[in-house]
Amino acid sequence: MPIDEVESKKLALSYAADNRKAEIALLWARSLYFLGFISVALVSYNTALQSGRRTFALLAACFGFICSLCWTLANRSSKYWEEVWEKKV
């Protein structure tokens, strides 16, 4: 193999490994955001139930459900891209 081709493959491998690391870092960052949103929804739900505001409690529960669903979908897509970069490495 020519030296240029070897260097090109090393550069591509380095690029793929860096992208995989970046995807894992993004997974954790998104998880922290969703965890915060879901925590706020849980506290809001509990507060609304204790104060007797059932409509607000329902809205907080729906918001928490939507955030949980989005979190699951974001994790699935992140796992997909992580596997893509692993295959390239």
- The pLDDT tens digits for 37-87 are 999 999 999 999 999 999 999 999 999 999 999 999 988 888 887 787 777
> In sequence order, what are the residues at sequence separation of 6 or more whose Cβ sits closer than 8 angstroms to the Cβ of residue 71?
30, 31, 34, 38
For the chain, which residues make up each domain, given as ranges? Answer: 3-88
Residue 30 neighbours by CB distance under 10 Å? 16
- The pLDDT tens digits for 57-70 are 999 999 999 999 99
Please, how many CA atoms are within 13 Å of residue 48, restricted to the half-sphere of its CB? 15
| pTM tops 0.85, yes or no | no
Residues in the chain: 89
Residue 89 confidence (pLDDT): 65
